[in-house]
């Protein structure tokens, strides 16, 4: 009995010391992160102005100004211009890539060129560190001279913590940590349906969700990460209507603004990779969404 009490007391002291040390780290990180974020935001805005300057030069305009970069949210910015201009999609993409792809704070990002009059998307593309997931459409078509605004949205890195809520979030984490360490050990629950199934049969193919491929008669059809996530949604609900909003939320929820026809493009790519089996079709249900139709012989 005495040894048990000593053991419990020692455990509590250990956990208390760990919580105190962690709290100090959280407070220190709160101040250092704020300073680092401000510096990265300033660097971001400088690069975005450079991009705007390069775009004007490419359109033959070396006189008009790039207006101050407007920050919409923590990771979304607008590059505005004094006068109308024209641009070549290839040159625009090369310019943003040259300035942003190697920037440590940039990561994945989406570029939308908006019409000033109605904010409609004149052109857009998404750049990912995984080049297979890049979305680039209509390259090589020179755009008409007009008033444009360039919207650039960066994918947040890690957990997006509001400055004023940083300490509160840290304390919540420490409380959770203490609860985990002090509570009795319980066996881990069995894996969920999605986690426990590494392969799914779709028609005449075996869908390998881990290695991102379709296996047909011993041959493998490679899938990108986005195509894998998209096909998994359909495969888990065959012959059922999947709402477009649900697909967008589950696949692009963390990436913010979605370029015009991103989903349609990936649906089209996925259809081509499913052409090996005429009994498998991804159909559009007007006004509702999409459906993976699997016919049985």
Residues 220 and 236: beta-carbon distance below 8 Å: no
Q: 282, 291 in Cβ contact below 8 A? A: yes
How does residue 132 score in pLDDT terms, banded at 50, 70 and 90?
A: low
Q: Is the pTM of this model over 0.75?
A: no
The reply to whether 116 falls in a domain is yes
If asked whether residues 140 and 215 sit together in one domain, one would say no
Confidence of residue 137 (pLDDT cuts 50, 70, 90): low
User: If you ran DSSP here, which 8-state letter would residue 124 be given?
Assistant: E
Do 38 and 89 lie in one domain? The reply is: yes
Asked if residue 183 lies in contact with residue 192, where contact means CB atoms within 8 angstroms, the answer is no
Residue 32 lies in a domain: yes
> Do 22 and 122 reside in the same domain of the chain?
yes
Residue 1 belongs to a domain: no
What pairing do the DSSP bridges indicate for beta strands 148-154 and 280-285?
Answer: unpaired
Asked whether the predicted pLDDT for residue 221 surpasses 80, the reply is: yes
159 lies in the same domain as 243? no
**Together in a domain, 283 and 144:** no
Residue at which a domain ends, from 140, 171, 186: 186
The pLDDT of residue 178: 55
CATH number of the domain residue 230 falls in = 1.10.10.10
- β-pair type (213-216, 241-243): unpaired
pLDDT, one tens digit per residue, over 225-260 is 888 888 999 888 889 999 988 888 887 765 555 544
Residues 111 and 243 in one domain: no
pLDDT for the residue 104: 65
Residues 154, 204 within the same domain: no
Helices 262-273 and 225-235: angle between axes, nearest 10 degrees: 80
Task: Judge if 105 and 236 occupy the same domain.
Answer: no
As a whole number, the mean pLDDT across the chain is 75
* Of 159, 186, 213, the domain-final residue: 186
In terms of Cα–Cα distance, which of 203, 201, 200, 206 is closest to 278?
Answer: 203
> Which range of residues forms the domain containing residue 179?
9-186
Q: Answer yes or no: is 212 within a domain.
A: yes
Question: Is residue 101 domain-shared with residue 28, that is, in the same domain?
Answer: yes
Same domain, yes or no, for 179 and 203? no
139-165 pLDDT, tens digit each? 666 788 899 999 998 887 654 444 445
More confident residue, 219 or 40: 219
Please indicate whether residue 137 or residue 87 has the higher confidence score (pLDDT).
Answer: 87
Picking from 132, 135, 159, the residue whose alpha carbon sits closest to that of residue 225 is: 132
Is residue 92 a contact partner of residue 102, using CB atoms and an 8 Å limit? no
- Eight-state DSSP code of residue 81: B
Asked if 105 and 178 sit in the same domain, the reply is yes
pLDDT at 159: 46
* Domain end marker among 186, 204, 239: 186
Q: Band of the pLDDT at 185, cuts 50, 70, 90? A: very low
Task: Answer whether residue 250 is part of any domain.
Answer: yes
Per residue in 9-35, pLDDT (tens digit) is: 555 666 667 666 766 766 655 555 445
- The stretch 100-122 carries a mean pLDDT of 82
2 found inside a domain:
no
Check pLDDT > 70 for residue 187: no
Q: Structurally, how many domains does the chain consist of?
A: 2
Q: Mind giving me the DSSP string for 146-205?
A: B-EEEEEEEPPPS----GGGHHHHHHHHHHHHHHHHHSPP-PPPPP-HHHH-SEEEETTE
Provide the β-strand partners of residue 285: 289
Cα atoms in the Cβ-side hemisphere of radius 13 Å centred on 65: 4
Q: Is 105 in the same domain as 212? A: no
**Residue 49 belongs to some domain of the structure:** yes
Q: Is residue 127 part of a domain?
A: yes
Task: Give pLDDT tens digits for 50-96.
Answer: 898 989 898 888 898 999 988 888 888 999 999 999 988 888 888 88
């Amino acid at each position: 009995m005495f040894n048990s009490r000593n053991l419990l007391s020692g455990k509590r002291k250990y956990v208390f010391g760990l919580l105190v040390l962690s709290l100090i780290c959280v407070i220190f990180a709160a101040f250092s992160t704020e300073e680092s974020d401000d510096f990265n935001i300033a660097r971001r805005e400088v690069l975005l102005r450079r991009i705007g300057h390069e775009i004007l030069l490419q359109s033959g305009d070396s006189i008009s100004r790039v207006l101050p970069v407007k920050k919409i949210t923590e990771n979304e910015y607008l590059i505005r211009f004094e006068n109308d201009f024209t641009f070549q999609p290839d040159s625009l993409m090369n310019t943003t890539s040259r300035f942003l792809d190697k920037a440590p704070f940039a990561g994945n990002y989406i570029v939308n060129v908006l019409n000033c009059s109605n904010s409609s998307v004149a052109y857009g593309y998404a750049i990912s560190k995984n080049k297979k997931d890049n979305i680039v459409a209509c390259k090589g078509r020179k755009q008409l001279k007009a008033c444009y605004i360039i919207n650039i949205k960066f994918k947040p890195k890690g957990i997006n913590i509001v400055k004023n809520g940083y300490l509160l979030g840290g304390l919540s984490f420490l409380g959770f940590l203490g609860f985990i360490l002090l509570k009795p050990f319980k066996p881990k629950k069995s894996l969920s349906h999605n986690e426990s199934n590494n392969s799914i049969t779709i028609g005449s193919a075996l869908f390998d969700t881990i290695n991102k491929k379709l296996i047909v008669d011993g041959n493998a059809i490679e899938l990108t990460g986005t195509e894998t996530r998209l096909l998994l949604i359909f495969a888990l609900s065959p012959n059922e209507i999947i709402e477009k909003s649900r697909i967008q939320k589950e696949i692009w929820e963390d990436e913010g603004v979605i370029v015009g026809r991103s989903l349609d493009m990936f649906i089209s790519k996925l259809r081509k990779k499913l052409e090996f089996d005429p009994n498998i079709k991804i159909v559009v249900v007007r006004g509702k969404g999409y459906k993976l139709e699997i016919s049985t012989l």
